[in-house]
Amino acid sequence: MLRWLINQFLPTADDAPSVSTRSETPQTAEIVPVADKVSGLLRRRAIYNRQWQIIAYTFSLRDLAYMSHSPEQAVSHDDILLSEIERILANQTLNTAIWIELGWKSLPLLLKHHFHKELTIIAHGDIDDTAEDVDTMLQALQSQYVIGATAKRWHQTHPGIGKQITLIALNVQSPDFAVLSQQVNTCRQIAAQAKLWVNDVDSREAAEACFQLGADFVSGRVFNWPEAQQLAFPDSFLHLNRVMQMARQNADAKLIADELKTDPALSVRLLRYVNSAALGLAHSISNLDQAIVVVGNQRLYRWLSLLLFSSKGDSTLDQTLLETALTRARLMETAAATHLSAAECELLFLTGLFSLLDFLLRVPRAVLLKELNPPQIVIDTLCGQSTAFSPFLQLAEQSEVNWPSTTLLEQCQLTSSEFNRLQIEATLWTLSALAS
């Protein structure tokens, strides 16, 4: 019966979203970062962290005409939701974390389901059970699930819940800054150790306000499809990217020079670079066409990629991000130098460089990659897919906060002493490059 019911609501082609997103499997024109499309009764919402990266999806059922709002019907609704997620996880792998919102009355349903993935459960609604019963239920679930709760009045009758949850959800829309600040403070008081997820924000401005007040994650209808955000890249970024695409496609030097000449400051910077000690030319060059020929399209693409970090301004944050990105890129490039080709090492450099650009521009990574359109392996690696480059990106990321694991060093075919030397060399190379 349940299978028949579910089949009645499977989506048709007319139900599919009309926008393509870079968050679904990449084909250059359409890039998907971390999760597969899910069909059927389920609807999916993206959860973003402070770096505007999708760190989880929360699933709910599509609105059904027959649904009522009785407590019994709500439990049945949650049971269908869990059955659908269980079915999907049994048949495919979803790389991104999954968050599920269930009523407090529906929590016992989790004990009869089996999921091939750790899930985060956010309980909502009113609590009718005693504090002792709730405590027993949460203890039974915590071995299998990460438990969270919406910011409701439960802290007045069941204050002990705040010590057992690791995530608290707050629903707001176009928040008043003062009211939101008070709500965030209340959430911190009732669940001091929990991460804060602000849901239902309806604009990027509201989301930014939430982050400023201490939210860890945001979501809302406006963020579901990256293209719907109407993001605007800086003009300098768009111009740099046009020249980069021409260089990558090996366009004629004169055509590239003509495009560069529309930005006199950029032309001057290129001539200064060509005549710098780094290239060590015997004679200075004043002709832009000749400068492009001397540099070559591959080196020009790499040089322009570095300038992307100055396309948003010249703040201290920009310089710090550039320094971190350069160190990350150089470490990845040199770590693979002994067993990957020069061309692959060049792509590793770009992967490391682009891995922080989304944070600088404050756009979802998939949107950025769709705009930049780098080689496919760069896209796949930065979208979380497992590639030959993935261990080197993980190595660079881990090295910024801790010593990489032995397993990761083995994957990169490095000893501890070799890694230590490469990390020092990458840091010195970056400082030298920024000083020149």
Other Cβ atoms within 10 Å of 195 Cβ, number:
17
Shared domain check, 243 and 136: no
Q: Which regions of the chain are under pLDDT 50?
A: 1-39, 65-66, 226-230
Shared domain check, 220 and 140: yes
What pLDDT score does 174 carry?
57
What pLDDT score does 1 carry?
38
Shared domain check, 400 and 292: no
**Alpha carbon of 391 to those of 55, 262, 341, 386: distances in Å?**
19, 40, 16, 9
Which residues have CB under 8 Å from 373's CB, separation 6+? 28, 245
Shared domain check, 268 and 364: no
Rounded-to-integer distance, Cα 116 and Cα 50, Å: 28
What pLDDT score does 114 carry?
80
Say whether 296 sits in a helix, a strand or coil.
Answer: coil
Rounded-to-integer distance, Cα 108 and Cα 141, Å: 9
Listed residues 229, 261, 281: the one ending a domain: 229
Closest to 146 in 3D by CA, of 170, 115, 172: 115
Domain containing 130 equals 2-229
What pLDDT score does 436 carry?
60
What pLDDT score does 333 carry?
95
What pLDDT score does 72 carry?
65
Shared domain check, 319 and 304: no
pTM of the predicted protein model = 0.51
What pLDDT score does 142 carry?
82
Shared domain check, 105 and 90: yes
Shared domain check, 110 and 217: yes
**Alpha carbon of 353 to those of 221, 247, 372, 416: distances in Å?**
31, 17, 12, 24
**Alpha carbon of 88 to those of 2, 169, 349, 388: distances in Å?**
15, 25, 37, 28
Q: How many domains does the chain have?
A: 3
